[in-house]
């Protein structure tokens, strides 16, 4: 009996083959260059020793699109909410598809080894359909779905022995998302492109996407807040005292007031007393926590902050490092390592490095501490970590070198201990007012020795104050300050906002940012050594246009709420609380109404765009 196994990507096929075959497998070429077939034997409980072929796809192999007769210009865009949609084999994936059909011919069972997430389940179903094309006798009941979250040996063996069936509710949820994204994206894109055609400086196409627009909305919103900012003056008190020849600056605990006369009145009350009193002095241990294990989104944010790399460039570099075998799979939401994972052996591989080798050695000599555990687990991949050692000098590509160094330092930091120190807080009572001064003394750097991106150093320490002592006020004043504008949007913040609002996934956030750039909705601008993101005239015009139109039920096409609502709905489809058809109808109706309203108000869109044109 033969079992055909199919993984979501070649690397998983290879790893799982190694584990299940005990290293004894034979590789065969397939019609698709990157997706080899591996033959071996494995003992499936209840089926005995079976012939196994393990192969792979590269993500989805089908494409959802409108049939050619409903192409651009051939049908009014509004009809795209009801016209039939076609699921075809992606023509770039024809060879992969053919390989599965061929390999299924002499197979009795099909075993799905795609990632255990929503999209993975749907890809599993696409694989099943491809297998059925080659072999009608593989029915849905002949599909085994393995469940694994990482590539540790026993975990994979266990997954091979305890499969379930494909969960069609999860597949339905994905189909629902695909259909909605396509109908909304295609209809609005054609509408916007047609509406704005002929205006000045309009690129083509003017696209709309359920992720593109909320992302653009964040950028425009921030830009407007910066532009409309008006500074305000405020006043506050400050007092310095001196002891043993050392000056300590005390800050007012009441913060600041926008009323100058009020602050002056308070100040005059204080000035009646030449002395203040040290009300309390506390010295307590404090920690600077080591970072959580690394997720994709965090990697992108950090490389943007520390290296000024774009999210896309970071992901591209990480991808190369992954296919080269240097780091683990770079698309993960998981921020806790599986308990069974042997982290020390990974630390061991880094001991030979000239920069952090010594640090890694110290971890193995007793400094190791189990990494912190975050709350996220995508049940597919562990946090990003180094796999093999590589000398930095040997990595030719700048971005890859930076990402590798970051991944290693972050990993070693996770396996180290928190930095330790002491914080001293002194409270000064002067007249009716209370002031505070703090001092920090760092005693152990620990993880900060390797995680050089973060600074935590001793500040000025406080003189040896005694509780209750009376002390002369050496200097004091009413200080004036002014509020500053919010900062312009950075890529780091945009990634964080999208992530927090469920706009896109770890694997696609970078693409969306890239795309709204390619569509000329946003641009990156150098500003004082860093890079900010600002909207273009078209970007502002589109967002302002949409917010000037009154939509039924007050929905917004440029805010994250609709996409968030879709996510909630998809969860309900996954758990069976709602059917795919219900969820789809509800959302399609919602967007269809918004489409009609938009079409009726095209003039508003055009006017808003003109308003922001220079």
Partner DNA sequence: GCAAGGTC
Interacting residue ranges for DNA, rule: CB under 7 A: 8-11, 34, 58-61, 63-66, 71-73, 90, 92-93, 96, 115, 117, 119, 123, 177-178, 181-182, 184-186, 189-190, 193, 204-205, 207-213, 319, 322-323, 331, 504-505, 507-508, 511-512, 515
Please give the backbone phi and psi of residue 537, each rounded to the nearest 5 degrees, phi first.
-60, -40
420: which residues sit within 8 A by CB, 6+ positions away? 285, 286, 287, 288, 442, 443, 444, 446
DSSP element (H, E) containing 534: strand 530-535
DSSP 254-323: T--BS-HHHHHHHHHHHHT-SEEEEEEEEEEEEEEPPPPPBPHHHHHHHHHHHH---HHHHHHHHHHHHH
User: By C-beta, is 199 or 417 nearer to DNA?
Assistant: 199
Q: Are 613 and 537 in contact (CB under 8 A)?
A: yes
Please give the backbone phi and psi of residue 65, each rounded to the nearest 5 degrees, phi first.
-155, 170
Q: Using CA atoms, how far apart are residues 118 and 60, in angstroms rounded to an integer?
A: 12
**Short-list 337, 324, 349, 383, CA closest to 506:** 383
Three-state secondary-structure class, residue 608: helix
Q: Are 372 and 414 in contact (CB under 8 A)?
A: yes
User: By C-beta, is 314 or 424 nearer to DNA?
Assistant: 314
**Short-list 585, 539, 547, 506, CA closest to 329:** 506
Q: Is 329 a catalytic residue?
A: yes
Least CB distance from residue 58 to DNA, whole Å? 3
User: By C-beta, is 437 or 562 nearer to DNA?
Assistant: 562
Least CB distance from residue 207 to DNA, whole Å? 3
Least CB distance from residue 516 to DNA, whole Å? 9
**Active-site choice (329, 406, 451, 521):** 329
Least CB distance from residue 83 to DNA, whole Å? 11
User: By C-beta, is 210 or 350 nearer to DNA?
Assistant: 210
Least CB distance from residue 455 to DNA, whole Å? 34
| CA distances, 140 to each of 27, 207, 246, 312 (Å) | 28, 39, 79, 38
Least CB distance from residue 559 to DNA, whole Å? 14
DSSP element (H, E) containing 49: strand 48-56
User: By C-beta, is 86 or 480 nearer to DNA?
Assistant: 86
First and final C-alpha spacing in the chain = 71
Three-state secondary-structure class, residue 339: coil
User: By C-beta, is 189 or 547 nearer to DNA?
Assistant: 189
User: By C-beta, is 102 or 210 nearer to DNA?
Assistant: 210
User: By C-beta, is 426 or 562 nearer to DNA?
Assistant: 562
Least CB distance from residue 63 to DNA, whole Å? 6
User: By C-beta, is 142 or 519 nearer to DNA?
Assistant: 519
Q: Using CA atoms, how far apart are residues 6 and 12, in angstroms rounded to an integer?
A: 9
Least CB distance from residue 99 to DNA, whole Å? 12
Q: SS3 string of 198-251? A: CCCCCCCCCCCCCCHHHHHHHHHHHHHHHHCCCCCEEEEEEEEEEECCEEEEEE
500: which residues sit within 8 A by CB, 6+ positions away? none
* C-alpha dihedral, 221 to 223 to 227 to 228, nearest 10°: 10
DSSP 78-97: GGGGTS--EEEE-GGGHHHH
DSSP 396-424: -SHHHHHHHHHHHHHHHHHTS--EEEEEE
Least CB distance from residue 21 to DNA, whole Å? 20
Question: Residues of 136-155 as b/e, b for ≥16 C-beta within 10 angstroms?
Answer: eebeeebbbbbebbbbbeeb
User: By C-beta, is 99 or 476 nearer to DNA?
Assistant: 99
Least CB distance from residue 139 to DNA, whole Å? 25
Q: Are 37 and 14 in contact (CB under 8 A)?
A: no
Catalytic center residues = 329
């Amino acid at each position: 009996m033969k079992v055909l196994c199919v993984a979501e990507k070649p690397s998983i096929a290879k790893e799982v083959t190694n584990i299940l075959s005990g290293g004894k497998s034979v590789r065969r070429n397939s019609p698709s260059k990157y997706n080899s077939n591996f033959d071996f034997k494995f003992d499936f409980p209840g089926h005995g020793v079976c012939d196994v072929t393990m192969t792979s796809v590269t993500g989805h192999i089908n494409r959802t699109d409108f049939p050619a007769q409903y192409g651009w210009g051939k049908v009014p865009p509004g009809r795209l909410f009801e016209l039939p949609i076609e699921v075809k084999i992606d023509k770039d994936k024809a060879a992969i598809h053919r390989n599965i059909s061929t390999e299924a011919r002499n197979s009795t069972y099909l075993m799905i080894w795609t990632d255990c997430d929503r999209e993975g389940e749907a890809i599993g179903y696409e694989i099943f359909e491809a297998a059925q094309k080659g072999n009608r006798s593989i029915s849905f009941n002949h599909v085994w779905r393995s469940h694994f979250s990482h590539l540790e040996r026993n975990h994979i063996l266990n997954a091979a022995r305890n499969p379930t069936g494909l969960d069609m509710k999860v597949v339905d949820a994905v189909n629902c998302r695909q259909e909605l994204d396509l109908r909304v994206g295609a209809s609005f894109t054609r509408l916007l492109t047609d509406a704005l055609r002929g205006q000045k400086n309009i690129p083509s196409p003017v696209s709309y996407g359920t992720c593109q627009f909320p992302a653009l909305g964040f950028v425009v919103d921030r830009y407007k807040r910066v532009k409309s900012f008006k500074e305000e003056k405020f006043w506050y008190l400050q007092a310095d005292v001196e002891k043993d020849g050392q000056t300590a600056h005390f800050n007012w605990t009441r913060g600041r007031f926008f009323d100058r006369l009020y602050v002056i009145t308070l100040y005059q009350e204080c000035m009646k007393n030449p002395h203040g009193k040290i009300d309390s002095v506390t010295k307590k241990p404090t920690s600077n926590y080591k970072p959580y294990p690394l997720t994709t989104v965090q990697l992108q944010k950090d490389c943007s902050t520390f290296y000024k790399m774009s999210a896309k460039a970071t992901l591209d570099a990480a991808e190369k490092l992954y296919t080269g075998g240097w780091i683990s799979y770079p698309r993960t939401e998981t921020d806790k390592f599986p308990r069974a994972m042997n982290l020390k052996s990974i630390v061991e591989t880094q001991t030979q490095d000239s920069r952090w080798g010594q640090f890694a050695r110290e971890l193995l000599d007793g400094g190791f501490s189990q990494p912190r555990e975050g709350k996220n687990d995508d049940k597919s991949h562990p946090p990003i970590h180094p796999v093999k050692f590589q000398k930095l000098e040997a990595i030719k590509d700048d971005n890859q070198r930076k990402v590798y160094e970051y991944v290693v330092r972050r990993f070693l930091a996770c396996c180290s201990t928190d930095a330790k120190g002491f914080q001293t807080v002194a409270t000064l009572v002067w007249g009716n007012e209370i002031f505070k001064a703090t001092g920090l003394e760092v005693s152990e750097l620990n993880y900060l020795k390797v995680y050089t991106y973060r600074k935590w150093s001793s500040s000025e320490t406080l003189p040896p104050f005694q509780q209750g002592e009376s002390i002369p006020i050496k200097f004091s004043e009413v200080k004036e300050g002014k509020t500053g504008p919010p900062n312009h949007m950075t890529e780091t913040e945009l990634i964080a906002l999208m992530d927090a609002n469920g706009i896109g996934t770890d694997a696609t956030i970078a693409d969306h940012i890239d795309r709204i750039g390619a569509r000329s909705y946003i641009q990156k601008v150098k500003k004082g050594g860093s890079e900010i993101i600002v909207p273009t005239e078209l970007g502002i015009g589109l967002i302002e246009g949409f917010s000037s139109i009154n939509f039924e039920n007050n929905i917004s096409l440029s805010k994250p709420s609709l996409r968030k609502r879709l996510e909630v709905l998809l969860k309900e489809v996954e758990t069976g609380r709602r059917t795919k058809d219900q969820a789809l109808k509800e959302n399609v109706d919602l967007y269809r109404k918004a489409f009609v309203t938009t079409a009726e108000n095209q003039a508003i869109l055009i006017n808003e765009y003109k308003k922001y044109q220079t």
